Amino acid sequence: MTLSASHPLMDGRTADSPLIAAYRGKTPSRRPVWFMRQAGRSLPEYRKVREGIGMLESCLLPELASEITLQPVRRHDVDAGIFFSDIVIPLKLAGVDVDIVPGVGPVLGTPVRTAADVASLPELTDESLAPIREAVALTVAQLGSTPLIGFAGAPFTLAAYMVEGKPSRDHLGPRTMMHADPETWQALTDWAADASGKFLRAQLEAGASAGQLFDSWAGSLGLADYTAKVAPASARALDHVRGLGAPLIHFGTGTSELLGAMRDVGVDVVGVDYRLPLDEANRRLGGTVALQGNIDPALLEAPWPVLEAHVRQVLEAGSAAPGHVVNLGHGVPPETNPEVLTRVVELIHSVEP
């Protein structure tokens, strides 16, 4: 398994970029930064191109998805594009009845709660991923030396949505299933792992230079449950892309106690949310991997001197790690002033790597 000779990582376009250098533990030419959810909600140009178009439809129109991905790179001079899509797109492309309801989130027509429900899930085919490949190729053609990051939802987070049928506060349904019906749980997370893995692989093969696995809800788990019931599925998802040579990142929210186990599924970079200082995260991980994070999104609305001091603290703490890519400790809030993000990027780039 290797990337094609014309892939941006292979033909020299992105291999020496600040982002890839930092992911690989090398000293970058400038401090790299990108923001989770930079493509979307906070940008007026995003709201304009999305008018009258549903979220999942937006993700599956290649030219629109590409344009949305490129918008924050143009505006903020960030060091990477993050592919505009959604973690439930693999479900949609496989034929699962799912939609994103404004103000609610992903909602399934029928929750998946029994062995029969799992057995009847359709398989995600490579052919159905054509719109994803097309959108990535369109985007990469315009990004030049700026890398594109592909992403997928981790199996636990996907399975949590599937069992609950909608977003949940405590994820009691999936946490119950993993103990009350462990065979069905494993079958479901295996299905989710393969769907996410194929989704991520399509992005990397089409031109993305790195891949991130998002585990939005893993913070609801204790370490023992995560290690025994979730980590094997995350490793299975990454097995689909492990041999390609692109850096792999693993991020979850509320996962300070899980960082070692998240690293051990086999990644190059661990994303850290805003709850744990990066120097402490590096200590817990023994200095073994590059880190990504972790500006607190809540501070984006603070007075500039407060935000600047916080960003400088993050840079200082991140310098303890073998490599550091600056990001938020979660996604960009919808009400964020885009000019603040641009100013944060300028600040980060002004500090010597």
Catalytic residue among 24, 30, 41, 275: 41
On whether 37 is known to bind a ligand per the annotation, the reply is yes
For residue 187, the surrounding DSSP H or E stretch is helix 182-206
Catalytic residue among 50, 133, 275, 284: 50
- CA dihedral for 238, 77, 6, 28, sign (positive or negative): negative
- For residues 326, 330, 331 and 332, what is the CA-based torsion angle, rounded to 10 degrees? -70
Catalytic residue among 13, 31, 37, 175: 37
On whether 240 is known to bind a ligand per the annotation, the reply is no
> By the 8 A CB rule, do 20 and 12 touch?
no
On whether 330 is known to bind a ligand per the annotation, the reply is yes
> By the 8 A CB rule, do 309 and 253 touch?
no
What DSSP line would sit under 315-335, residue for residue? HHHHTTSSSEEB-BSSPPPTT
- CA dihedral for 37, 39, 40, 45, sign (positive or negative): positive
On whether 161 is known to bind a ligand per the annotation, the reply is yes
> By the 8 A CB rule, do 74 and 342 touch?
no
Structure tokens, 27: 């000293």
What DSSP line would sit under 262-294, residue for residue? HHTTT-SEEE--TTS-HHHHHHHTTT-SEEE--
Catalytic (active site) residue 46: no
Q: What is the DSSP letter of 226?
A: I
On whether 216 is known to bind a ligand per the annotation, the reply is yes
Write the CB contacts of 303 (distance below 8 Å, at least 6 apart in sequence).
none
Catalytic (active site) residue 86: yes
Write the CB contacts of 172 (distance below 8 Å, at least 6 apart in sequence).
none
On whether 218 is known to bind a ligand per the annotation, the reply is no
Longest dimension (CA), the chain: 57
Catalytic residue among 23, 75, 79, 161: 161
On whether 113 is known to bind a ligand per the annotation, the reply is no
Catalytic residue among 79, 86, 215, 296: 86
Catalytic (active site) residue 41: yes
On whether 7 is known to bind a ligand per the annotation, the reply is no
CA 204 from chain center: how many Å?
Answer: 13
What are the binding residues for substrate?
A: 37-41, 86, 161, 216, 330
Catalytic residues: 37, 41, 50, 86, 161
What are the binding residues?
A: 37-41, 86, 161, 216, 330
